[in-house]
Each structure stands twice: as structure tokens, then as C-alpha cells.
Structure 1
Amino acid sequence: MSGGGGETHGELAASRARVLARADAERSALQRELHDGAQQRLVHALIALRLARSALGPGSPGAALVDEALTNVEQANRDLRALVHRVLPASLVHGGLASALRSLVDDLAVPVALHVDVPRLRPEDETTAYVVAAEVLRTVTARSDAREVDADVRLDGDRLTIDVWLTRTPLDADRTEPSDPPRDGVDLAEARDRTRTTGGSLTVTDLGPGRAVVRAVLLVRARREPDPNDGVGRA
């Protein structure tokens, strides 16, 4: 039922999609600014400090101060690199979803057995898929009882499926109750919203003691590869 200034379901979905598209554009701009600005300045500072340290003798009174500064700048560089990756990794733009997810899992607290079989997609679809997969993987691996995590990302037609299986540690003397699996309504709020915006779904299934799987299904469109014959013979 419409009228009275109300919006239809389709209008609301389109409005949400526009909001997410603007947010993703802002993410990309922020990622470029951090990567090309602050990160580059920190790298230059690191080089200068290392050169200064090598020029100082072992007993130089300034050596300890340079060492401290070098340690702090190295940590700041690691922190900023992690922040850039959380915003949007450069590897997503240059290498696609598979490259970005492989880079992501290298920095997670729990080892992840990752399999990705997805070609290059439209930039907006790659961003959505990365944000969904990243939130699921970070949520699952951040659990104190996470022991094993397996992830499978695949494309079948216009359906991109992200499966993340969690194996939790067995109960011990200090834990008499098993922990709950991740909840799609609380722990995975952004992933759920973005998945639904594509027309897909996100579910969390408890597979029994110590096992759970998070499945996100996104509706996407594969990126059209340039046709080498495009424009041939045209004026």
C-alpha cells in the first residue's frame, strides 16, 4: 500500500543502496588519502630514522632516543597499514576479491584455510563482497574459543556465496557452557545489511557442539571484459 508520502519497499531498498554506494566512494577516497599521504610520510620518516641510526655510533648519547623514535614510527606504520586495510585494501582495487581476502587473512588472530574462486567483478560488487567477508572473518576469528576457521568464496552465475566455518575449542574445566555461535543480527550487522541490499541473505547455522557456519549469499554481476573487437571498423 502506497500513498500518504510513504515509500515502497523498492524505493527504500534503492535509497539504502545509494547510501551504501556513497559510503563506499568515501571509503575509497579515504583509502587513497591514507595510502598516498600519511603512509608515504611515515615510510620516509622510517628511512630517515634508519639512516640517522646507522650514522650514530654505539655509544652516542642520541642513539637511545633515535631507537625509541624508530620503534614508535614502525608501530605507527603497522597501525596505519592495518587501518588502511580495514577501510579498503589497495589489493582489492589492483588484484580483486581473492587478492584482498588473502591479504586480510594473513593478519587475523586465527589461521584461516581460504579458498576463493571468483573472477574480477564490478568495483561496487567487489567492495560489497569484501566488506561482508571481512566482517564475518574478523568476527569469527576474534572469538576467544576459535580454533579452526575455513572459508570458501565462490561465484555461481549471479550468486556469490561466502561460507565461513568455525570450529571452537572443546569445553574444559573452566568453561561449563559452550559459547554461542556468532549472531547475524548483532555481531554481523553491516554484513547482514549489505547482503540484503544486493537481494541476498546471511544466515548463521549452529552445526552442533563446537561447529557453526556463517553463509552470505550476494547477488552480483560479473564484470564485462573488454572486447578486443570493440570499435574495430568504426569511424
Structure 2
Amino acid sequence: MDLRAALARPLGYPRTVWPWRAVGYLVSGVPAGVAALVGLLLAAPLFVFGALALGRFERWRLRAVDRAPAPDPHRTPDRPGLAAWLRLRAREQATWRETAYALLHATVLWPLDLIALALCLGPPVVLLAAPVQFALDGHEAKIAKLVLVDSYPPTLLAAVLGALLLPVLLLPLGAYTAARAALARALLTPRDAELRDRIGEVTRSRARLVAAFEAERRRIERDLHDGAQQRLVALTMTLGLARLDAPPDSPLAAQLAKAHGEAAQVLTELRELIHGIHPQVLADYGLAAALADAADRSAVPVETDVDLPRLPAPVESAAYFAACEGLANVGRHSGADKARLTARYDAVDGRLTLLLHDDGRGGADPESGSGLTGLADRIAVLDGTLTISSPPGGPTLIRVEIPCPLPSA
């Protein structure tokens, strides 16, 4: 429950802790407002820095009346140092929202808070204090500077009236506090800016993860190519030489021939594995050559129409494996006689488009375990899209679009 939920039950509201939380929220804002006003008058050039501190303090104060989280909308600089921090803060919308709030708080909000406290708490407190005032004087008391009394019964009656008036006035005070807190939340933790910042940070972190993943794939490919594969090649050659030295038609020759064949088979499988992890042609010659190689390896004849420059490595890798998965599905599931693979890069829009068309039976469903769902997730990391048109009876068209910056020369 928070202040707004408590106000929805007006009869029970005075018996909860929320009226006093509201009072504490308004009272604690007055010194902050006075400090902001003094800072504005005495150190206007540094007011923005004070506004940042005030924004942090106000988000912390919101917890008194609103239990919903009020996260810091500011981003963390990409590099250490004061200069990077200043550049980032100057570009952030949250900084100028906090500055606007600080100006509003220094000039308008804290006086309004004082007025609300005075109007809603002043009369009940004055009436409740009438017996104390009379006891201190001993002869008479002037209630609220208006009514002069010279005995205890009128002061006690005033105290009872104050006790009855207090819960009544706590309701409008709570309503004002809820509106005041809502204004602070709207300016200091705007949901749209917060979501944009966080989505932007998630997007950047996903891009970094993809780049790290591709670098790791290339490292594994190099280790297998330069390590295990070379040892298998040497082993195969050694077994071949040993077969030449073994007596023909002997049991040793048969065992060596079998071992030689097994080593050759393992070498072939390892080469296929290396090619599946990250083909060397993709790293050396780019996506155009890698797509041509994938089309040549396809079980179904593939006509290619590829005209591409060198693109960023994560984009080339995602597009290549999307094409390979699509070609594998064509060979396994479509029953097609031929396929066509088209790839273009639009330098104006900064977008790679890859189209795979086959004349098969259609009916491709990404949710049937064809591997296309995983590819869609992989492409989505790069803000790309994968769309499939595959009506029953065919044809099937797979379209991949990946935004990417202009390739360097």
C-alpha cells in the first residue's frame, strides 16, 4: 500500500501511518527548497550540479509516500574521468528535467508545501494547544488570536474541536501530498526516458556480447584448425607411411588400413565442424564468397545473386548462418528442385537484405523445431528481422534484414 491507495479509503485513512508520512514528506522538502533557492541566488553557474544532488535526494524522499521504485535515470559513463561524466550529463534529458524541477522547487513548490501545512495543520494545532496556552498564562488565553477565554471549559472545548478537525483536514493534505509526489516522480523518473535509456544500454550490451561471441568462435576455429587438425593430418600421413612399410595382406597391414581410414574420417568430420563453427572463407573473403561456398555445398541446386561489400563481422556471421540454416531446411524439408539466394546491401539505408526462395511444398513453421526460431533470436540481437512466407503448396520465401553501418573502405 502507498499514499494513494490509503486515500482511496477516506474513513480509515486517519488511522493509518500515511497522514504522518505525508506530513514528514512535506516538512522535509522545505529545507531542500530553501537550500535550492539559496544556491540559485548565490551560485547560479553551479546550480545544475546542485540540481543533480537535489534530484537524487528527492527520489530518496519519494519512498516516504510512494513505495514504487524511483530508479536513477542517469546512465553510467562509458569511460572513467570527470570529462566523460560531464559530457554524458550534458547530453542527458534527465539532467535538464532535474534542473527544471530544482528551479520549480526553489521558487514555487516549497512555499506551496508550507502553505498546505499551515492551512491543514495550523487550525487543529492551535485549537489543541488552547489548554496548554491557558495553563501557561494562568488567567486567560486568546485562541487563534480571535477568541479570548478566561476558564478551562472553553479551552477544553476548543481542544476537542481541534481533535475532530485534524482527521478531516488530513485528507486534503494527503491529496495534495500525493499530487506533489506524482509531479516529482514525473519530472525526476520519467518512464519513457528511463525505458529508452535502459533499452539503449541493453542494446549496446547485446551488441558487445555478439561481438565477443563472434571473437570466441573465431578463436575456437583457429585453435582447431592450427592445432587438432594439423595433428590429425600428421597422424594420417604417419599411418599412410606405416602401411607402406607393413607386409602386404598381413594382419598388421589390415589394422593400419583401418586406422588410416578412421583417421581420415575423423579429419573430414573435424573439417566440417570447423567450417560450421566459423568458415575460414567468411573471415578471409567476406560474406559474398561465404554465401557462394554455402550454395555450392547445398543439397539442392542454388542460383546465387550476391553483390556485397565487406560488412561488420557480427553482421556477416549472422547473415551467413541464417543462409546456411535456410539452405539446410530447403534440403531437408522442402522437397524443392531448386532455390535462389539473393543478397544486397543498401548503402543509403545502411541495411543488408538477404532473400532465399525455393519452389518446394511450403508450410514451413518456425515453431516446429526447424532452427529458424534460434536464427530469428540471433538476428534480433543485431536489431534485424527474419520473416518467412511459406503457404501450403509453396513457394517459401525467407527474408533477412539487418541494419548495419556503412562498411569501411
| Number of the residue aligned with 2:363 | 180
1:153 and 2:343 are equivalent in the alignment = yes
Question: Partner amino acid for 2:363?
Answer: D
Match of 1:84 in 2: 274
- Please tell me whether the aligned partners of residues 326 and 398 of structure 2 are also in contact (alpha carbons under 8 angstroms): yes
Q: Does 1:223 align with 2:407?
A: yes
How far apart are 1:116 and its partner, in Å?
Answer: 1.7
Higher strand proportion, which one? 1
Query: Residue in 2 aligned with 1:195?
Result: 379
**Residue 159 of structure 1, CA deviation:** 1.5
Return the alpha-carbon distance in structure 2 between the equivalents of residues 82 and 146 of structure 1.
24
Q: What pairs up with 1:22-101 in 2 under 5 angstroms?
A: 22-101=212-291
Match of 1:172 in 2: none
156-165 vs 132-141, which moves further: 132-141
Offset, 1:74: 1.2
Counterpart-to-counterpart distance in 2, 1:161 and 1:203: 11
Deviations 1:160-191 (A, max 9, x none): 1111112225xxxxxxxxx6224279531232
Change beyond 3 A, Cα 1:139–1:162: same
2:333 counterpart (143, 168, 183): 143
- The alignment-based identity, stated in percent, is 35
Note the C-alpha offset of 1:56: 3.0
CA shift at 1:220, angstroms?
1.8
Question: CA 1:129–1:121 in 2, change beyond 3 Å: closer, same or farther?
Answer: same
After superposition, give the CA deviation of every residue in 1:86-119 in whole Å (9 maximum; x if it has no partner).
1101111111112222223333333322232111
The amino acid of 1:215's aligned partner reads: R
Secondary structure in 2 aligned to 1:40? Answer: helix
Give the whole-Å Cα distance in 2 for the aligned partners of 1:102 and 1:56.
44
- 2: distance between equivalents of 1:3 and 1:73? 63
Deviation at 1:210, TM superposition (A): 2.7
What does residue 109 of structure 1 align with?
Answer: 299
Higher relative contact order (CA 8 A, sep 6+): 1
Q: Does 1:16 align with 2:206?
A: yes
In the alignment, is the contact (CA less than 8 A) between 1:148 and 1:167 conserved in 2?
Answer: yes
Aligned partners of 2:302 and 2:199: how far apart in 1? 38
Q: Partners in 2 of 1:182 and 1:166 — Cα distance?
A: 15
Matched, 1:168 2:360: yes
Report the number of matched residues. Answer: 215
Note if contact 1:92-1:100 (Cα within 8 Å) is conserved in structure 2.
Answer: yes
Measure the CA separation in 2 of the matches of 1:111 and 1:218.
26
TM-score norm. by structure 1 comes to: 0.80
For the residue of structure 1 that corresponds to 2:337, the secondary structure is strand
Counterpart code for 2:224: L
Partner SS state of residue 163, structure 1: strand
Q: Which residue is 1:211 aligned to?
A: 395
Deviates more, 1:210-219 or 1:95-104: 95-104
Q: In structure 2, do the counterparts of structure 1 residues 116 and 4 end up closer, same or farther at CA, with 3 Å as the change threshold?
A: same
Point out where structure 1 has 5 or more consecutive residues left out of the alignment: 170-178, 226-235
- Does the 8 A contact of 1:110 with 1:147 survive in 2? yes
Shift of 1:77: 0.9
- Asked whether the 8 Å contact 2:363–2:392 carries over to 1, the reply is no
Distance (Å, rounded) in 1 between the aligned partners of 2:397 and 2:306: 17
Q: Does the Cα contact within 8 Å between 2:310 and 2:407 map onto a contact in 1?
A: yes
SS where residue 155 of structure 1 aligns?
A: strand
Does the residue aligned with 1:30 lie in a helix, a strand or coil?
helix
The answer to whether the 8 A contact 1:184-1:192 is kept is no
Residue 81 and residue 220 in structure 1: after superposition, are their counterparts in 2 closer, same or farther (change >3 A)? same
Bigger Cα displacement from structure 2, 49-58 vs 3-12? 3-12
Structure 1 window deviating more from structure 2 (37-46 vs 199-208): it is 199-208
Give the SS at the match of 2:249.
Answer: coil
CA distance in 1, matches of 2:202, 2:277: 26
Larger radius of gyration: 2
Structure 2 stretches of 5 or more lacking a match? Answer: 1-68, 73-193
- Give the TM-score, by structure 2 length: 0.48
The answer to which of 37-46 and 112-121 deviates more is 112-121
- Residues 104-136 of structure 1, C-alpha deviation per residue, up to 9 Å, x if partnerless? 333333332223211122323322322332222
Identify, as 1 or 2, the structure richer in helix.
Answer: 2
Q: Aligned equivalents of 1:42 and 1:106: distance in 2? A: 26
What is the alpha-carbon distance in structure 2 between the residues aligned to residue 3 and residue 22 of structure 1? 33
